Chains A and B, each alone.
Chain A
Amino acid sequence: MIQIENLQKEFTIHHLNKTLHAVRDISFTVEKGSFLGIVGKSGSGKSTILKSIYGTYIPKSGAIYYDSETLGKINLVTASPREILHLRKYEIGYVSQFLSVMPRTTALELVEQALLETGVSYEKAHEEAIDTLKHFDLDESLWNNYPNYFSGGEKLRLNIARAVVKKPRLLLLDEPTASLDNASKLKVRESIEKLKHQGTTLIGIFHDLEFMDGLCDEVFTMRKAVVNAYEA
């Protein structure tokens, strides 16, 4: 599903005249329907890999081949912004630790909109949004409120709900359980298991190794901007 070949990412900070090496010579493959966990210290380049797959970062060199349902095999490093937008809309989801929303958009609208942009009817979007919010135990009294007032955990659950509701083919998880309590983590875990069962391919970064246990099919450990260890 995803094949990364010799990926390198550098950040050139012009005003400091400095180049930071975030990721050097990374290669790995993720099979369809499997879950790859990436672990490593802060600054080791874990998020850089996910953001390079999602198109937020422009790699310096290397290739990221993705088997798209609609575009065929495509190199995400050289794909056009319009192709990336298409994949984000229909195939690839991303969950970060942070929730960015339109002002004055309620939690329910936020999840509905994720589906509406893919062309489903309002009725279906509404129904599925409610099911997903219920699944993540987001209190019904919050559905019609603005997420700006939510706690960190509530925001995170809403963020995951927004990505999961679209049933993406590939889901990228950037520390989605960082500030969740155990009950919420369990919900996320259930949801991930369900997505895996439906055939979604997942790549996730977690600090919580216990959470990953039994969930990931493969684990990469990263150190100093290089994949140093590989466990299967």
Chain B
Amino acid sequence: MHVEQPILQIKNLSKQYGAGCSNCLQPNARLEKNFCPVCKTVFACKDVSIDLYRGEILGIVGESGSGKSTLMKSLYFDEEVTSGEGYLEDFHNGSLNIFTQSGQQKRYIRNALLGMVYQNPMLGLKMSFSSISNIAEKQIAAGSRHVGNMVNRSNELLNQVNIPLKRSKEPPKNFSGGMQQRVQIAKALSSNPPILLLDEVTTGLDLSVQASVLDLIKTIQRELQISMIVVSHDLAVIRMLADRTIVMLNGQIIEQGLTDQILEDPQHAYTQQLVYSLL
């Protein structure tokens, strides 16, 4: 086996809300969880480093406020990082830090090299536009101009995510939660990105709909060999999908490993608590 290069490499990513002070900006800062009691700065992500490999699903678990979603938003440039480096193999062969690129380059990365599925479909879709327009929007942003090609690709994707084509002109606001998530997945895939980011995509859906969305994600991963980062507070979802798993607490990675190892032989006290709480 040759030495594998990660398709995405994140080094020491930090995101803080607030300027920080002499209490919290030193190496062994005294914080209340990830919050500085002196200057009220919140350290949402602190020195997070991850590698994602081609074709794998990486799970990220942790309680609310652990920094999972901030990490995803930072990767998708919804949030500006405070510090850290990110390298994508498909962007200048991983030689340039994506976080220090111009707005134009970041838009290119976001539209052509990444796909994002939010927990709340309202963040990822324009609810009053037709589903087919929503999907075409990302293709236009990624550089497509041929209307016929875009329509064909959108229909192909709607078919792939099991949305009846006769409903392609309906806006997502007419759809159920599960269907809205499937339209989001179709949109995220429309520019053939090598990496898909999924942020709590099954939260709030009923069990049978959850199963169909998970099934769809797994099928897409198997057929397209796409790499995915799946954020969830639900360990059952992570067990079902992820090859490797990262556990976050108070903005930091506290444990990582094979998913079955994390679930059956958790090392950290917090991970043990999480696993013992699994129904």
Residues in chain A within 8 A of chain B (CB atoms): 11-15, 51, 55-58, 70-71, 81-86, 100, 102-105, 113, 116-117
What residues of chain A lie closer than 8 Å to B156, measured between beta carbons? Answer: none
Closest chain-B Cβ to A177's Cβ sits at a distance in Å of 22
Q: How far is the CB of B207 from chain A (nearest CB, A)?
A: 9
Q: Is B258 a contact partner of A103 (Cβ separation < 8 A)?
A: no
Question: Please, could you name 16 A-B residue pairs with CB atoms under 8 Å apart, sorted by A?
Answer: A14-B272, A51-B265, A55-B260, A56-B258, A56-B264, A57-B264, A58-B261, A70-B1, A71-B1, A81-B256, A83-B1, A102-B218, A104-B215, A113-B222, A116-B222, A117-B222
User: Whose C-beta in chain B lies nearest to the C-beta of A100?
Assistant: B239
Smallest CB separation, A67 vs chain B (Å): 14
Residue of B nearest to A70 (CB): B1
- Nearest chain B CB to A161 CB, angstrom units: 19
- Residue on A nearest B258 in the bound complex, by CB: A81
Decide if B272 touches A13 in the complex (CB within 8 Å): yes
Contact of A15 among B239, B256, B272 (CB under 8 A): B272
Query: B175 an interface residue at 8 Å Cβ cutoff?
Result: no
Q: Which of the listed residues B258, B264, B272, B273 has the most CB atoms from chain A within 10 Å of its own CB?
A: B258
Nearest CB of chain A from residue B124's CB, rounded to whole Å: 24
Q: Mark B204-223, 1 if CB is under 8 A from A, else 0.
A: 00000001101100100010
Q: Chain B residues with Cβ under 8 A from A83's Cβ? A: 1
Q: B264 contacts which chain A residues (CB < 8 A)?
A: 51, 56-57
- B211 and A103 contact, CB distance less than 8 A: yes
Chain A, Cβ-Cβ closest to B271? A14
A51-B264, A56-B264, A102-B218 in contact; A81/B257 too (CB < 8 A)?
A: yes
Contact B273 A15 (CB under 8 A): yes
10 smallest CB-CB distances across A and B, nearest first, come from A14-B269, A103-B211, A57-B265, A81-B258, A56-B260, A104-B215, A70-B1, A81-B244, A56-B264, A56-B261
Pick the contact of B240: A56, A57, A102 (CB < 8 A): A102
Interface centre among B222, B264, B272 (most CB of A within 10 A): B272
| Residues on the B chain within 8 Å of A113, using CB | 222
| A57 contacts across to B, CB distance below 8 A | 261, 264-265
Residues of A within 8 A of B214 (CB): 102-103
User: At the interface, yes or no: B76 with Cβ under 8 Å from chain A?
Assistant: no
Whether a CB of chain A sits under 8 angstroms from the CB of B267 is: yes
Instruction: Decide if A104 touches B261 in the complex (CB within 8 Å).
Output: no
Q: Which residues of A contact B218 (CB under 8 A)?
A: 102
Q: How far is the CA of A57 from the CA of B264 in the complex (A)?
A: 7
Q: How far is the CB of B30 from chain A (nearest CB, A)?
A: 23
- Give every chain A residue within 8 A of B243 (Cβ-Cβ): 81, 85
Task: Determine whether the beta carbon of A82 is less than 8 Å from that of B211.
Answer: no
A82, B222: Cβ atoms under 8 Å?
no
Cβ B4 vs Cβ A82 within 8 A: yes
Query: Which of A58, A86, A103, A105 is most buried by chain B, counting CB atoms within 10 A of its CB?
Result: A103
Name which of A71, A85, A100 has the most chain B CB atoms within 10 A of its CB: A85
Q: Name 14 extra pairs, CB < 8 A, besides A58-B261, A102-B215.
A: A14-B268, A15-B272, A55-B258, A56-B261, A71-B1, A81-B243, A81-B244, A81-B256, A81-B261, A85-B56, A86-B1, A103-B211, A103-B215, A104-B211
CA distance A104 to B215 in the complex (A): 7
Q: Which residues of B contact A56 (CB under 8 A)?
A: 258, 260-261, 264-265
Q: Taking CB as reference atom, which chain B residue is nearest A85?
A: B243
